[in-house]
Amino acid sequence: MRDKLEQIKRKAMEAMDSLNNLDQLEEFRVKTLGKKGELTLVLREMGKLPPEERPVIGQLANEIRSYLENELSKKTAELKNAALEKRLAEEAIDVTVPGKVPALGKLHPVTKVLNELKDIFLGMGFDVAEGPEVEWDSYNFEALNIPKNHPARDVQDTFYINENILLRTHTSPVQIRTMLKKKPPIKVICPGRVYRSDAIDATHSPIFHQIEGLVVDKNITMGDLKGVLDVFAKQVFGPETKTKFRPHHFPFTEPSAEVDVTCAICHGSGCRVCSYTGWIEILGAGMVHPKVLAYCGIDPQEYSGFAFGMGLDRITNLKYGIDDIRLLFENDIRFLKQF
């Protein structure tokens, strides 16, 4: 029996050395010291021993048990510690490593210029009005004094949804919507997307953007129009900028003008951008036609107004020196990144 006990101890010591995780240790404990463990089984047989040997063997067995228990708990502590050290090492965070910089998006150049233009007009007391891109034929044309046989109505230019509904070809119908809803004084700009079935090239896109302006009140004159557009041009293109009004024709204004600004690139001396004229056309404008006011229930005897409309994409291109309108719609990230 004594030999058996010594053997259990020796085997246990050997086995313990090769244990290297907590599961194995637990398995070992059950196998050796558990209820059905080797040591326990040996002790069960103590009854068969002669009485005088029992205390000696009993004491030896207890010594072995407490020795093994002690070793086991030392080993357990060691392994637990090693596991903790390992985890701490693995989970250590180097707080000095530089963070990952998130890729930031940017505003589209057209949006940037739109924001800038809005600021300029808000600074002059304008509100922003918007209208739908899918529009009534009557607001897009009829109300703006564009009769049925006008060339602007040509199916070549207009995307029709049906006989009465189309994709607006300009932002001018927002003038109509504004005047139908609200009585003077009116002072709004109407930015938005417009559509024309033009062939695509460097200066034409079937989708583009306009900003409409409308001021209606008592005693509004062409002088007010010139003043507003002059301030606007100087703020967008620089304080040296001059404006020039050339007589023109629009069905919805009378009189009408096209407005040029001195070329921001050559300041008037002539360059490729201004086709060596020193001037660049930027918008159409005029005094709101009495028929347009009357259509909206505003008495042309009492009120007058001016209106203007400009291409936002064109102004964007002029400001940034972009020579092809298609770049604004292709969404090539290499292009957009530059703004």
- Which of 38/142 has CB closer to ligand DAH? 142
For helices 222-237 and 109-123, what crossing angle results, to 10°? 130
CB-based contact 65:39 (threshold 8 Å): yes
By CB under 6 A, residue 141 contacts ligand DAH: no
CB-based contact 216:288 (threshold 8 Å): yes
- Which of 38/281 has CB closer to ligand DAH? 281
User: Residue 273 contacts by C-beta under 8 Å, 6 or more apart in sequence?
Assistant: 263, 265, 266, 280, 318, 321
- Which of 12/307 has CB closer to ligand DAH? 307
- Which of 241/253 has CB closer to ligand DAH? 253
By CB under 6 A, residue 167 contacts ligand DAH: no
CA distance to 21, 245, 289, 302, 312, per residue, from 179 (Å): 84, 26, 13, 14, 23
Min separation Cβ 125 and ligand DAH, Å: 18
By CB under 6 A, residue 172 contacts ligand DAH: yes
Site string for ligand DAH, 191-230 (x = CB under 6 A): ---------------------x------------------
Q: What element of type H or E holds 294?
A: helix 290-295
Min separation Cβ 258 and ligand DAH, Å: 8
Min separation Cβ 99 and ligand DAH, Å: 49
Alpha carbons 160 and 150: distance in angstroms, whole number: 15
Site string for ligand DAH, 270-289 (x = CB under 6 A): --------------xxx---
Neighbours of 71 (CB within 10 A): 13
Q: What share of the chain is helix, strand, coil (3-state, %, to 5)?
A: 45, 20, 35
Q: Which residues contact ligand DAH (rule: CB under 6 A)?
A: 170, 172, 212, 250, 253, 284-286, 307-309
